[in-house]
Chain A
């Protein structure tokens, strides 16, 4: 008993130091960003407009990532996020056009949920390989959205065979005083202070209710999955379904609920794309963001806070690739990445991981060389940043990442005997 308590309290202490370290790391990153901004003169790195674009880019990825988190925590890999998101874009446009923005958001969630239901039937009830089912759902999703758009939007005012505009979107609001104050502070371009102010201004200016919802859902997900008995049971289905079964948990039901929620979240991500990121619908609007959401989830080590970090990072690169004249901005970011890689290489040298250190150092040097030998970066490279970063993180941290133990495995009822 005492040893157990001891190990528990030491674990709590370790968790506290861990949290402590993360705050320090975050602060250090901000300082580095600020230094790079001052050195390169690319003030747009942390300008309110850039950060607003980043948040708009982050939210769909965040919602998809949270959706992926729900499913994978219950042991179901959901590659079908992309298809479910696509269904969400159509649902948002269709229902918002006819019944207003609130029903639009609900309709998007419902369409995503239907995609999730298909995935749940295939993987939970029939025990089909999760990846196969997901790939099939993405094919179906794209086809269904193309078909539905042609059949339901072609004759509408503001509509066409592959697009629709002219529906109401969720309201936006600006936090009074805070937004203006932060904006003024950000425009001063002071060290660190203006960067933080830029972030505050970016968040508080023309904030969509759907953005608020996305961030609230991070907290809700964390609370439900880690602070309620329902969440504990759901996660147990992803860690060890046989053990869960012996404790009387209806594993199928939990997996179903998880995948349905997953689909609904992805659908909301689609709604965000069709209602906030843009005010019109087009077929194939997701452009692979469902997959990026999945990447954000893996980057975030299957945790809500990690998903948020990943989504913000990927959203930033997604957001700035849409800004006009982003070449110089990306060029400045190159220096930032090179510096961060160099720091990371030093850490790896200290922990005596020579091969990793050498590879990271080489990448860092490459970054520096690239930065100093060019004035601008082709915009098409920004688009693939999330993918490259994910690959890099997977390659370097794969041993540190811990996915649910029974993730992606087939589970049959009565298999515990």
Chain B
């Protein structure tokens, strides 16, 4: 039925060069879904607010108001941590593994890192580097549990990781109460020695706080991730395995080994998620007060939003951090700040739906194009 329109459209499209068409196509296909998703999520959230008797205009004007300098700093720092979490998730996503365990892995990484840093075993600024290694190693080791169970026992990594997330939180709480010190009502690890507290970037001289030094980790890891995935043989094999396990196996990739390495790598990055906050402002670890939980789940969402690409992840993280940063302003405007969770959740849902629809449409267009070409060739052969 749609054939006549396709034929009509064909000449118009042909005026653009194939390369240009491809670029336009990928820009539209890559940018449109997230844009539609964000607008859709805003619309749904506004609807929820209106139904419950609030004012959508208040909501939108508060969300899109310019945040003050203090909030801007929060947004930058939070987006850095979200980016790291999203990169951890993306490494696995590219190989078609769902690492829902980022949450648990960064709890373990943070706990191990904080205990190590607080003990002051390594003197001075070198402590920072050593702590990062410890945190990454702890995260990698913890992720490897799920990886090993998957490879050797065939256990779904999603289920085992969910269980491990809870175990991580409980164990961290236990360790801190047992080996930490009492501070007020809660227990925390020993405080980070002063000589291991890096100076941040003071971009607003008047505002309290700064951009944490280790927020720059996000950029380093982002570039490293891009390089690893698209410029190395390992990254290529990783992507091949993600696309088709059989094809990878046929071309000599040891899929099980890849799975273990990728899981550990993802866990290592996850172990670093909270380090910017630790070195930048908290200096101690003790959930729930002296820790920020939930970054792992949000990281998964950001990775999906950014389609597992470095730049996409940065933008997605910035968007989510912006929304969370504005939620306090919402609270003072009389709207419960939890509403932002609805916006974030719906954004993820909408963006995957949008990608799914775009992908399916593109596949159909491709099939039509091929069949048209074949038809033309056959006619040419008979003529």
Same complex for A and B? Answer: yes
Binding site for B on A (CB under 8 A): 79, 118, 122, 126-129, 131-133, 135-152, 161, 283, 288, 291, 294-295, 298, 378, 380-381, 383-384, 387-388, 390-391, 394-396, 398-399
Instruction: Choose among B163, B300, B349, B356 the residue that contacts A295 (Cβ–Cβ < 8 A).
Output: B163
B124 in contact (CB, < 8 A): no
A398-B155 contact in complex given A144-B48, A380-B174, C-beta closer than 8 Å:
yes
B342 in contact (CB, < 8 A): yes
- Which residues of B, 151-201, contact A by the 8 Å Cβ criterion? 153-156, 158-160, 162-164, 166-167, 170-171, 173-174, 177-178
A383 CA / B168 CA spacing, docked (Å): 12
The reply to whether A391 and B166 form a contact with Cβ atoms under 8 Å apart is no
A131-B155 contact in complex given A140-B346, A150-B336, C-beta closer than 8 Å:
no
A49 CA / B188 CA spacing, docked (Å): 35
The reply to whether B164 and A291 form a contact with Cβ atoms under 8 Å apart is no
Cβ-closest chain A residue relative to B154: A398
A127-B356 contact in complex given A144-B48, A394-B153, C-beta closer than 8 Å:
yes
Instruction: Choose among B52, B154, B155, B356 the residue that contacts A148 (Cβ–Cβ < 8 A).
Output: B52
The reply to whether A128 and B149 form a contact with Cβ atoms under 8 Å apart is no
Instruction: Choose among B52, B156, B167, B177 the residue that contacts A388 (Cβ–Cβ < 8 A).
Output: B167
Cβ-closest chain A residue relative to B175: A380
B residues within 8 A CB of A141? 345
A129-B340 contact in complex given A140-B346, A381-B170, C-beta closer than 8 Å:
no
A394 CA / B336 CA spacing, docked (Å): 40
A380-B170 contact in complex given A127-B356, A142-B341, C-beta closer than 8 Å:
yes
Residue of B162, B298, B301 with most partner-chain A CB within 10 A: B162
A98 to chain B minimum Cβ distance, whole angstroms, is 15
The reply to whether A147 and B100 form a contact with Cβ atoms under 8 Å apart is no
The reply to whether A131 and B166 form a contact with Cβ atoms under 8 Å apart is no
- Which residues of B, 335-366, contact A by the 8 Å Cβ criterion? 336-346, 348-349, 352-353, 356-357, 360
B237 to chain A minimum Cβ distance, whole angstroms, is 23
A143 CA / B44 CA spacing, docked (Å): 13
Q: Which 8 A-B pairs have the closest CB atoms?
A: A143-B341, A146-B338, A140-B345, A150-B336, A139-B345, A387-B163, A384-B170, A143-B342
The reply to whether B153 and A147 form a contact with Cβ atoms under 8 Å apart is no
A135-B301 contact in complex given A143-B344, A384-B167, A395-B155, C-beta closer than 8 Å:
yes
A283 CA / B53 CA spacing, docked (Å): 20
A295 CA / B163 CA spacing, docked (Å): 8
The reply to whether B304 and A394 form a contact with Cβ atoms under 8 Å apart is no
The reply to whether B301 and A131 form a contact with Cβ atoms under 8 Å apart is no
A147-B348 contact in complex given A132-B304, A291-B162, A394-B149, C-beta closer than 8 Å:
no
B residues within 8 A CB of A146? 336-338, 341
Cβ-closest chain B residue relative to A395: B153
The reply to whether B336 and A151 form a contact with Cβ atoms under 8 Å apart is yes
